[in-house]
Every structure is written in C-alpha cells, then in structure tokens.
Amino acid sequence: MSIAIENFVKAIYKNGKRDNNDTKPGNIAKELGISNAAATDMAKKLAIKDLINYEKYQELKLTVKGNKMALNVIRKHRLWEALLFKLFDMSLHDIHREAELLEHQTSDLLANKISEYLGNPKFDPHGDPIPNADGEITTTDTSISLSNSEEGKNYIISRLMSDDKEFFDFCAQHGLKYGNTVLVSKQFSKNKMTQILINNNTILLNEDFTSIIYVNEQD
Amino acid sequence: MSIAIENFVKAIYKNGKRDNNDTKPGNIAKELGISNAAATDMAKKLAIKDLINYEKYQELKLTVKGNKMALNVIRKHRLWEALLFKLFDMSLHDIHREAELLEHQTSDLLANKISEYLGNPKFDPHGDPIPNADGEITTTDTSISLSNSEEGKNYIISRLMSDDKEFFDFCAQHGLKYGNTVLVSKQFSKNKMTQILINNNTILLNEDFTSIIYVNEQD
DNA sequence: AAAAATATTTAAGCTTACTTAAATTTATTT
DNA sequence: AAATAAATTTAAGTAAGCTTAAATATTTTT
C-alpha cells in the first residue's frame, strides 16, 4: 500500500476521533492538502480495497481492515517520536515532521524493535497512546481538554494534540509539556479565554489552545 | 527530488565505483530492477535537472550536483545502518533493507543528529566509509579484496560489500565480520578458491565471496 | 568485414495521484 | 418552501515512473 493510501486512512482516523467528527471528503482533503476531487477519487479506490465504506455524500467510514492500517501507521509514527525524543535533542515539532515521513518506511519488525528498545512505552512524547503490535490501544484516556476544565483546580498535562510549530514553540517557552502541573486560575466564559498558572507564571490561553491541551485532574 | 531519482543517481555512483565501471542504462536498470527503456527515459530527465551528463549510447556520468546527491543519500543510508546496528539486535541484511527505505525520508538535520549521537563515525557496520555532511569521504581505503590476498598472510576484515541475505547469513555463521582476523591459508589459482582460517575454523570461499570481502594486511 | 548477438533508444500505453472546471447534490439562509 | 451557499461528484487532463514492442545502434563473433 502506498504512502498516499496510508496517509488517507490515517486522516480519516484522526478526523473521526476529533470532536467535529467530520470524515467527509472535503475535511480529509483539507487535512491532507489535496483537492476535494482527489479525496473523492481516493475514497472510491479505498472502498474497492475494502479499507473504507463509501456511500456518495456520506461520511467516509473505515472498515476493520482500514482501521487496522491506520493504527499500524500511527503506532509507527508514535514509536519514532518516542525514539527520536529519547535519543536526540530536537524540538517536538521537528520530531513530528521526521516521524511523519519515517512512519511509512518502517517494517513491522523494526517497529517492534523500537518498541522493545524503549521498554514498550504506552505513550509518545505528546502523551498520545501508542497502539500495540495488534493495532490496539489498551490504555483508557480519561483526560479532558483545558476548555472543559474547572476554575481553581490543579491538573496534569497529559496530551498536546497538535502538529503545529507555533503551538509547540509556545508550549516549550512556557513549560507546557507532558507531565507538568497547571492550575486553572480563571475561566472567562464570555470570550472563552482561560487563565492558568504554570511554573509560577500566569498565562492566558484562547480556545484554539485550550481545546488541544488535554489534562487529568490532580488527586 | 523523488525516491526514484535518488535511487537512480545512487545506482550510477555505485556501479561507477565497481571494477566493471559500467554505468550504461542497461546496467543501472539491472541494479534497480527496472526496464532498460525506463532507465534511458530517466537518464534524459536527470540530464535536464543537471544531475547527469547524458549522451546517446554512452556511459551515464554524474555531474558535481548529481555526485553530491548520491553521496548525501549514501551518507544517510550508512548512518541509519550504524544506528540500527548499535541499538537493535538485527541481522546486517535486515538492517540494510530498513536503511534502503529510511535513507530517502531523512532530513539533513536528522542525519546530523544521528551522526553526532554515534560520535561521527567514519565507517558503517559493513566497513563502508560514511560521507561527511558536505558529501565528502575523507578516509582513504587501502583495503584489497580477498581474491587479491596472499597465501600465508594475516588480514583484518574491513568491508563486506554486499546486500545479499545469503551472503550475510554465511558471514554471521562463520564469524566473518568487520574487524575480525583471517589467515589466508591457501589460494587455489586454478578454480579461484581461497582457503581461510577464521575463529579456528578452516573454510573455503569461491570467487563470488572473495571478491566482495575486503581486508587490510595485519602489521 | 560481414553476420549475429546484444544493448540502447523510441514509441505507445498504463497506473497512481493528483489538478481544474463544470455539474450535481446537500445544507443553510431568508 | 424557495433561494442561495457550500460541498461533493463527475469529467477531462497532467506528470511521474514505469511497461512492452519495435526500431536503431553498437559490440562481439566468426
């Protein structure tokens, strides 16, 4: 299967997981940076290969086979991120970009070797779960986005769901990273801003950011 | 530049280095497993991109730019081999196969990080020299093939110039690896066989093997 | 040096993964 | 509920990287 196909099923998987839940061709096209027509075209092809179920004008739905392929690619992506993060001093954004390419050129054997070397980690450096060799995510995620957090509570950052450089630069600058503690000091419901305290610094986040920063309540 | 192009210039470079020195389309086609027609086609395209000089019916010659590209890919290949060899318990043949894919999806930045992590090694696990970031091979190779070795002398294995699984399985089985010592106990000039002593075992090699095992004289 | 064998090139055609433009369907607004 | 907007699909076309078959050039053999 080609790189284009792997990226396509991955995009369906990712968009399906997001709150909007939109897996129509247009949204996939946007994710991949291709035209809507190309996405429709590809959808038909993937249906023939039994990777998705395709009905005109409807959401694209991964078959069991397609889902497995998506998780296999995601596994490789996250294992590469974990390995590069451990070995090299590189920004998470750069690491993501490298993993985006390497994920398609990695045998199952090599993926397993990487996993074994790292002690079969369950999460990557973003806090995203790493599917196992059978394409299953065994960990349960109880985290919520900062948008849905409550004033006055302490949280531990569990995921930074983005591939965006600007966002990661901002995170690196302010200590927003996997495992760190934040206090939600104030929620401004009117303009959907959130004030947090992290590393003894108060910062203000808009919804673009709070919706992709996931946290768990601190006991 | 595409994977096909990177592999094409690499094939020209590699075939150019070999004793036959044949870089005509047919030989490149054979190396890459494509048709002669496809190789001629590609040669014309690469000439337009100033990667090779192409004249009908003549050898394909890399330009300075093409040579640089070939060495850049080879650098990445050999760095990956060195990294995988260090981190994972995998056969050299498997490692070679993974590197063959990864080499095309590796930024210069990542290549430099790998090199740095490994202490800027000058050789890969086959004993092949790793070009530096400027695409230069600074080490001089004084090794000779076992075919040209002399009876009764001790040698140190410096290179195993092959991508073949059978060959590597044989090498692994008999302790033929980079750095090990062999005594050339007898040369049979008639049928071009070579008898060597390694790890206290006597083995007999034909020319297919002795021509790709490179050694340095032991002082 | 001519004949035969081999290699290269040209020509025509295929698949993949896109594109833009136009037609059609669905969703939203008034 | 009709009009408008937006998204999806269809149609036609392109470039890359191949293929096979036929034509042409080069090399080897006799």
- Domain boundaries, given as residue ranges, for chain A: 3-62, 144-217
- Residue B58's beta-bridge partner residues? none
Q: Which residues of chain B have pLDDT under 70?
A: 19
A65: closest CA of chain B, how far (Å): 24
Specify the pLDDT at position B186: 93
Class of A3-62 in CATH? mainly alpha
Q: What's the token pair of residue A1?
A: 């299967």
Nearest neighbour of A105 by CB, restricted to B84, B101, B113: B101
Q: Which residues of chain A have pLDDT under 50?
A: none
Nearest neighbour of A94 by CB, restricted to B87, B101, B109: B109
- Name all contacts of B171-175 with Cβ < 8 Å and 24+ positions apart: B171/B92, B172/B91, B172/B92, B174/B198, B174/B199, B174/B201, B174/B203, B175/B199, B175/B201
Specify the pLDDT at position A126: 85
Domain boundaries B144-217, corresponding CATH code: 2.30.30.90
Does any strand D atom come closer than 7 Å to the Cβ of B35? yes
Residue whose tokens read 């060495």: B71
ipTM above 0.85, yes or no: no
Specify the pLDDT at position A25: 95
Name every chain A residue with its beta carbon within 8 A of the beta carbon of B87: 113, 117
A36: closest CA of chain B, how far (Å): 25
Name all protein residues with C-beta less than 7 A from any atom of nucleic acid chain C: A 2-5, 32-35, 37-38, 41-42, 45, 56-57; B 24-27, 29, 36-37, 39-41, 43-44, 56-58
Give the dihedral of Cα atoms A98, A100, A105, A107; nearest 10 deg. 100
Specify the pLDDT at position A19: 64
For residue A130, count CB atoms less than 10 angstroms from its CB and return exposed for 0-12, middle for 13-18, buried for 19 or more. Answer: buried
Nearest CA in chain A to B112: A88
B113: closest CA of chain A, how far (Å): 6
Is the Cβ pair A98, B107 closer than 8 Å?
A: yes
Nearest neighbour of A102 by CB, restricted to B97, B105, B109: B105
Which residue's CA shows the smallest distance to C1' of C18? A38
Specify the pLDDT at position A163: 73
B7: the nucleotide nearest its CA (via C1') is: D17
Bases along strand D below 7 A from a protein CB: 7-12, 16-22, 25-27
Specify the pLDDT at position B150: 93
